[in-house]
Amino acid sequence: MEAGTPQVVKLEDLHVAGQLSGRKHILSIQVENKPGVLARVAGLFSRRGFNIDTLAVGPTDDPSVSRITLTLDGAVHPIDQVTKQLHKLVNVLKIRDMGPEETVAREMALFKVSSAVENRAEIIQFAEIFRAKIVDVARRTMTIEVTGSADKIEAFERMVRPHGLVEMVRTGEIAIGRGHE
Amino acid sequence: MRAADTLMESLKAEGVKDVFGIPGGANLPTYDAMVDAEFRHVQVRHEQGGGHAAEGYAQASGRVGVAFATSGPGATNLVTAIADAMMDSVPTVFITGQVRTELIGTDGFQEADILGATLPFVKHSFAVTDPRQIPEYVHEAFHLASTGRPGPVLLDIPMDLSRADIDYQPRTEPVELPGYKPSTEGNIKQIRIAAKALANARRPIFYTGGGVINANGSAELRELVDSDRFPVTSTLMGLGAFPASSDRFLGMLGMHGTWTANQAMDKADLIVCVGARFDDRITGKLDEFAPHAKVIHIDIDPAEISKNVGAHIPIVGDAKQVLPKLTREYRALQTDSSRLDDWWNTLRGWQDAHPLYYDESSDQGGEIKPQFMIRALHRATQGDAIITSDVGQHQMWTAQYYGFDKPRRWINSGGLGTMGFGLPSAIGAKVACPDEQVVCVGGDGSLIMNIQELATCVTESVPVKIFLMNNGYMGMVRQWQELFWDKRYSSVDMGSSPDWVKLAEAFGARGMRCDNSADLEEQMVAALEHEGPVLLDVRVAREENCYPMIPPGNAARDMVESPGKTVS
C-alpha cells in the first residue's frame, strides 16, 4: 500500500471540507500591473455576489506587479470559492489569505471632528491615547489622522462621534506577513 | 510588415484553416490582409451568426473557432456568441476592430467598449495598445482558448494599430503566462482514495459532462466504466462522450432527463462527476439533490469543485489524464463486481417501468409526433450525423431520442440556452467537417432568429440540412405557460408566418415540407441526398409536451411523466 492513502475508504467516513470560516479574511492579491486588471477583479466580485468590505490597491517593489488587498466576511462567503474564482483571472499572479496571527494589518483614517473651545482639549486627549495625529485645525473643526487595525479606527470613531463627526475617510486595510513570511 | 499582415501570419502559425466574420470600417486593414491570407474566410450575414459558426466549428472539430467583427455594433453583435462560448467552454478567439487610438473614449463613430462589455464572459481579453503586441497576443489568445478549461478570448485591435508597420519574427518559443498554469494531471493520492471509494460503493453512478468531450477523453471514460459494471448518465453537453447504445448508459439526467438517470442520482451512494458542473438544470432543488451520495468531482477547473455541490473527493485535472489513472488504481483493487447486482436490478426495474414515452399511434401515418421525427432522423442519418440544435422542446427531444454514440456529434447551446444557435453552428460544423452529414434540428421560434445565415449556406456553398420541427409555437415557453401559468398563453403563438418553403427558395436553398409521418424518413433522405442546403419544414403535433420533467425548483424524486403514459 502506498503511503499517504488509507487502507480502506468507507463512504460513511467521507466528508466535505467546511465552506464558511466565520471570520473576516484579508486577501492579499498580486496582479500584473496592466490596464483593466482592477475592473476584472471588481467585476468578478460583483457578478458572483461577493461583497468586498474594503479594498486597497497600490504598487509593490516590482513595477510590473500591483497588490490588491481586500477584506471580506468569511461568514457570508466561502473564501475557498472566492480565491478559486480569482485565480481564474489570467492577470492574477498570487493570492494569500492572510491569517490573523501571522499578519500585520493596518488601515489609515482621517476624521474631521467639530471642535468648539470647550471640547477641544478632550479631543486632543483622545488623539493622544490613540496615538493619532492632528493634521489640520480650523476655527470649528479639527482633522485627525489615525493609523492602526480596523478595530482601533472603529474605537476612535466611537469616541469622537458624540462630539460631531463632520466627515470620515478610510483607506481600507493593507497587510503584510510577520517575520520572514 | 503591416501589423494586419502579421495577424494573418500568426493565425496561420496557429494552424487556422477557416474563419468567420463580417468586415466594417474599423477592421478594413484586417480584411485587406485577409485577401492574401492562406485560410478560408466564410462571410456570414450577422456577427452573431459568425460567432456561433466559430463555436460550431470548434465543437465539431476540437480546433479553435475564430470570428471577426468590426467595432461598435459589429462587436456588440458578437456578445451573445461570446457569452455562449463561455457558458459551454468552447475554445474560440474573437477578433474585433476598434476605432482609432485617438478616438477611444470620445464616443467616436462606431465606438463601443467591447472589452468592458464582455469582461463577465470571456476567459480573457486583450486590448492592443501597440501594434507589436498583435502576434504575441494572438498566440496567447489561442493558448488560453484551447488549454485548461477552454473558453472565449477577445482580441480588440484599434484600426490605426493594425495599419502600422512593424518588425515581424515568427514566434518559436511556447507561450508562458505567469498567472495561468492549469493543473491537468490530478493528485494521485486523491485518485487512490477515489478508487477505494468506488470499490466500496454499492450504488455508484457516473455523471459525465462536456468536459469529457473537451478533453477528448471518451475512450478513457469507456475504459474506466468497463473496468466494472458502472452505470453512466450524461448532461446535455456530454451526450456522445459515452455511447448511448451501451447498456450501461441510463440516458441523460436533469430536468428532461430519463426517469432512471434521475432516480439513480437520487438513490446513489457515490456520484462520480467527470467534467460537469452541477448546474441547476441537473440538480433541481439543491438541498434535496442526491441526498444519499458522496461525491467524487473530477474537473479541470478547480472553481467548479464544491461551487454548487460539495465534493467529498475533489480531483483537479483533465479527464484524459485522470481517468486512466483512476482505472489503473481501481483495477488493482480487484473488486467483486457482484456487489452491484442489486443496484442493476433496481436500475433495470426503473428502466422497464419508466421508459421514455410518447403516443406512437400515428407513427405509421398521419400526425407527426416530434419524438417520432427525431427517431426518423436517426434512421435517415444512420445515427451518425453531426446534429446541431436551437433551444427549446426540439432540443430536448433530440437529446432524448437521437442516441448519440460518438463525441462531437451533438452541438447545442446548453448553458446560455441561445435560441438561433442551430443554423450558424451547423455552418461552422460543416465547414470544419465537410465530409460529414450536418443537420440542424431547428425550432420555428429559434430558427428565425438567425435565418439570415441561410444566405451564407447558399453563397458560401455550405450544404447544411435544416430539419425544422415546426409546431407554430415557442413550444417550451408554451409548455411552461400550460403547466405552471394556468394556460395563460402569452406571446407564444408564432402564427403562420413565414412560409418556410418559399423563404428557403428565396434564399436560393431548397425548401421542402412534410406533414405526414409516413413520408418523413423518405423526405429526410431526399433532403440529405440533395447537393445543396435544404430546409425541410416538418409540421409536427402542435401541443405535444416534453416529458419526463422535473418541475422547476423541485427535486429528482418529483419528476413527472407524460399524463398519457400508463405504467405497465
* Beta-bridge partner residues of B156: B96, B127
Helix (H, G, I), strand (E, B) or coil at B549: strand
Could you tell me if residue B332 is inside a domain? yes
Given CB atoms, is A11 within the 8 Å cutoff of chain B? yes
Mutate to test the interface with A, among B271, B277, B306, B335 (most CBs of A within 10 A): B306
Rounded Cα gap, residues B64 and B14, in angstroms? 9
If asked whether residues A87 and A40 sit together in one domain, one would say yes
Q: Of A60, A81, A98, which marks where a domain is finished?
A: A98
Q: Of A64, A98, A132, which marks where a domain is finished?
A: A98
Helix (H, G, I), strand (E, B) or coil at A135: strand
Mutate to test the interface with B, among A1, A10, A11 (most CBs of B within 10 A): A11
Given CB atoms, is A17 within the 8 Å cutoff of chain B? yes
- Residues of A with Cβ-Cβ distance to B101 under 8 angstroms: none
Mutate to test the interface with B, among A8, A10, A16 (most CBs of B within 10 A): A16
Given CB atoms, is A81 within the 8 Å cutoff of chain B? yes
Rounded Cα gap, residues B136 and B463, in angstroms? 36
Rounded Cα gap, residues B151 and B515, in angstroms? 41
> What one-character DSSP code corresponds to residue A20?
-
Residue B110 sits in a domain whose CATH number is 3.40.50.970
pLDDT digits (tens, 9 = 90+) for B39-49: 999 999 999 99
CA distance A99 to chain B (A): 22
Structural domain for A109, as ranges: 104-177
If asked whether residues B515 and B479 sit together in one domain, one would say yes
Helix (H, G, I), strand (E, B) or coil at B295: strand
Given CB atoms, is A95 within the 8 Å cutoff of chain B? no
- Residues of B with Cβ-Cβ distance to A16 under 8 angstroms: 295, 306, 310-312
Given CB atoms, is A5 within the 8 Å cutoff of chain B? yes
Q: In angstroms, how far apart are the furthest CA atoms of chain A?
A: 80
Structural domain for B332, as ranges: 188-353
Q: Is the model's pTM score more than 0.90?
A: yes
Could you tell me if residue B298 is inside a domain? yes
Mutate to test the interface with A, among B139, B181, B189 (most CBs of A within 10 A): B189
Given CB atoms, is A49 within the 8 Å cutoff of chain B? no
Rounded Cα gap, residues B23 and A164, in angstroms? 63
- pLDDT score, position B427: 98
Q: Which residue has cell 468590505?
A: A53
Nearest to B52 by CA among B464, B350, B330: B464
Contact map slice: B 289-328 vs A, CB within 8 A: 294-295, 301-303, 305-307, 310-313
Mutate to test the interface with A, among B124, B294, B339 (most CBs of A within 10 A): B294
Rounded Cα gap, residues B316 and B143, in angstroms? 19
Could you tell me if residue B565 is inside a domain? no
If asked whether residues A22 and A77 sit together in one domain, one would say yes
CA distance A2 to chain B (A): 9
The answer to whether A138 and A77 are in contact (CB under 8 A) is no
**Interface contact flag, A35 B127, Cβ < 8 Å:** yes
Between helix B319-332 and helix B188-200 the angle, nearest 10°, is 50
If asked whether residues B483 and B522 sit together in one domain, one would say yes
* Beta-bridge partner residues of A146: A109
Q: Of B327, B353, B379, which marks where a domain is finished?
A: B353
Interacting residues of B138 by C-beta distance below 8 A, sequence separation 6+: B7, B10, B11, B14, B93, B155
Could you tell me if residue B562 is inside a domain? no
Q: Of A75, A98, A121, which marks where a domain is finished?
A: A98
Q: Is the peptide bond before B182 cis (omega within 30 degrees of 0)?
A: no
- pLDDT score, position B566: 64
**Interface contact flag, B301 A88, Cβ < 8 Å:** yes
Given CB atoms, is B189 within the 8 Å cutoff of chain A? yes
- Residues of B with Cβ-Cβ distance to A6 under 8 angstroms: 193, 196
Contact map slice: A 129-148 vs B, CB within 8 A: none
Q: Which amino acid does the sequence have at B145?
A: A
If asked whether residues B143 and B66 sit together in one domain, one would say yes
If asked whether residues B28 and B59 sit together in one domain, one would say yes
If asked whether residues B67 and B128 sit together in one domain, one would say yes
Q: How many CB pairs under 8 A join A and B?
A: 75
Could you tell me if residue A2 is inside a domain? no
Total domains in chain B come to: 3
- Cell matching residue B520: 418523413
If asked whether residues A41 and A92 sit together in one domain, one would say yes
- Nearest CB neighbour to B119, from listed A8, A15, A43: A43
- Nearest CB neighbour to B120, from listed A10, A43, A81: A43
Mutate to test the interface with B, among A88, A92, A93, A94 (most CBs of B within 10 A): A88
If asked whether residues A66 and A15 sit together in one domain, one would say yes
If asked whether residues B349 and B225 sit together in one domain, one would say yes
- Residues of B with Cβ-Cβ distance to A10 under 8 angstroms: 200
- Nearest CB neighbour to A90, from listed B179, B192, B312: B179
CA distance A123 to chain B (A): 47
| A84 to chain B: closest CA residue | B303
The answer to whether B542 and B271 are in contact (CB under 8 A) is no
Given CB atoms, is A30 within the 8 Å cutoff of chain B? no
Total domains in chain A come to: 2
If asked whether residues B331 and B384 sit together in one domain, one would say no
- Nearest CB neighbour to A88, from listed B189, B200, B303: B303
Could you tell me if residue A55 is inside a domain? yes
The per-residue b/e assignment along B99-129, b for 16 or more CB within 10 angstroms, e otherwise, is: bbeebbeeebebbbebbebbbebbbbbbbbe
Could you tell me if residue B362 is inside a domain? no
**Interface contact flag, A32 B189, Cβ < 8 Å:** no
Could you tell me if residue A157 is inside a domain? yes
- Cell matching residue A5: 492513502
Could you tell me if residue B361 is inside a domain? no
Residue A119 sits in a domain whose CATH number is 3.30.70.1150
| B293 to chain A: closest CA residue | A11
Q: Of B148, B163, B178, which marks where a domain is finished?
A: B163
CA dihedral B164, B167, B168, B172 (to 10 degrees): -140
The answer to whether A114 and A128 are in contact (CB under 8 A) is no
Residue B321 sits in a domain whose CATH number is 3.40.50.1220
Rounded Cα gap, residues A98 and A181, in angstroms? 10
Q: Specify the DSSP element, H or E, that contains B207.
A: strand B204-208
If asked whether residues A93 and A108 sit together in one domain, one would say no
Phi first, then psi: give them for residue B366, nearest 5 degrees: 110, -145
If asked whether residues B158 and B208 sit together in one domain, one would say no
**Interface contact flag, A32 B119, Cβ < 8 Å:** no
Could you tell me if residue A4 is inside a domain? no
Residue numbers in chain B where pLDDT is lower than 70: 566-568
The answer to whether B245 and B405 are in contact (CB under 8 A) is yes
- Residues of A with Cβ-Cβ distance to B114 under 8 angstroms: none
If asked whether residues A39 and A89 sit together in one domain, one would say yes
| A32 to chain B: closest CA residue | B179
**Interface contact flag, A47 B120, Cβ < 8 Å:** yes
| B332 to chain A: closest CA residue | A1
Given CB atoms, is B270 within the 8 Å cutoff of chain A? yes
Q: Is the peptide bond before B498 cis (omega within 30 degrees of 0)?
A: yes
- Residues of B with Cβ-Cβ distance to A40 under 8 angstroms: 119
If asked whether residues A159 and A94 sit together in one domain, one would say no
- Residues of B with Cβ-Cβ distance to A87 under 8 angstroms: 302-303
Rounded Cα gap, residues B334 and B331, in angstroms? 5
- Residues of A with Cβ-Cβ distance to B301 under 8 angstroms: 88
Given CB atoms, is A15 within the 8 Å cutoff of chain B? yes
* Beta-bridge partner residues of B233: B207
DSSP code per residue over A25-85: EEEEEEEE--TTHHHHHHHHHHHTTPPPSEEEEEE-SSTTEEEEEEEEETTTS-HHHHHHH
Could you tell me if residue B50 is inside a domain? yes
If asked whether residues B513 and B474 sit together in one domain, one would say yes
**Interface contact flag, A39 B119, Cβ < 8 Å:** yes
- pLDDT score, position A3: 54
Q: Which amino acid does the sequence have at B536?
A: L
Residue A69 sits in a domain whose CATH number is 3.30.70.260
Q: Specify the DSSP element, H or E, that contains A118.
A: helix A117-129
User: Number of helices (H) and strands (E), helices first, in chain A?
Assistant: 4, 9
Given CB atoms, is A93 within the 8 Å cutoff of chain B? yes
Q: Of B293, B324, B353, which marks where a domain is finished?
A: B353
| A64 to chain B: closest CA residue | B178
Nearest to B76 by CA among B56, B46, B53: B46
Contact map slice: B 358-387 vs A, CB within 8 A: none
If asked whether residues A23 and A77 sit together in one domain, one would say yes
Could you tell me if residue A5 is inside a domain? no
| A7 to chain B: closest CA residue | B196
Could you tell me if residue A3 is inside a domain? no
Could you tell me if residue B563 is inside a domain? no
- Cell matching residue A31: 496582479
Residue B116 CA: distances (Å) to CA of B99, B120, B128: 15, 8, 14
Nearest to A53 by CA among A164, A172, A146, A133: A172
pLDDT digits (tens, 9 = 90+) for A96-148: 999 889 999 999 999 999 988 888 999 999 999 999 999 999 999 999 999 99
Q: Specify the DSSP element, H or E, that contains B478.
A: helix B475-484
- Nearest CB neighbour to A90, from listed B124, B301, B310: B124
Q: What is the mean pLDDT of each run of 10 residues along chain A (181 residues)?
A: 71 88 92 93 91 93 96 88 95 94 95 90 93 94 95 94 94 92 60
